[in-house]
Amino acid sequence: MNANKTWRERAVHALIFEVLAVALTAPVLSWVMKMPMAHAGLLTLMISLVAMTWNMIFNSLFDRIERHWRLVRTMAMRMVHATAFEAGLVAIVVPLVAWWLDMSLLDALILDIGLLLFFLPYTFVFNLVYDKLRASLLRKRMFAG
């Protein structure tokens, strides 16, 4: 029941993920960093756009690797997926955060580690729920048609 995902579905997946993420993180970042909500909101929006692009690229590559090696999305594989995704995102986002907040790369990394403590479980749970809902919808379509 693992129908290939279209680029449209990947875009919807990434958009839902990021809209929820921005809604959850912008107010917290504004409060923790004692910065105006607009400044925190723009930063989270920039990070979101980078993350959406990375999400689509990473998940496409991960799906290809899964198919090629005939891997199954066990809980361990989901942990590898979430960890690899976030590691790649950290490498991309830390320089952006350092520039936007005019801080050192080390300070930006420390801030990003704080965000990672939220995003690692968020990524894991979001994708688990998404996959279960997707499988259920595919089953309903298969039996309805």
Question: Is 0.85 surpassed by the pTM of this model?
Answer: no
The ranges assigned to domains in the chain are 7-113
pLDDT value, residue 3: 67
SS3 76: helix
Q: Which residues contact 2 (CB under 8 A, 6 or more apart)?
A: none
pLDDT value, residue 2: 55
pLDDT value, residue 10: 84
Please, what are the averages of pLDDT over each run of 10 residues along the chain (145 residues)?
76 88 92 93 92 89 94 91 91 95 96 87 91 90 76
Phi and psi, residue 27, nearest 5°: -65, -35
Rounded Cα gap, residues 141 and 145, in angstroms: 6
CB 43 within 8 A of CB 99: no
CB 18 within 8 A of CB 44: no
pLDDT value, residue 122: 92
pLDDT value, residue 132: 93
pLDDT value, residue 143: 83
User: Could you tell me how many residues make up the chain?
Assistant: 145
CB 41 within 8 A of CB 21: no
Q: Give the DSSP letter of residue 121.
A: H
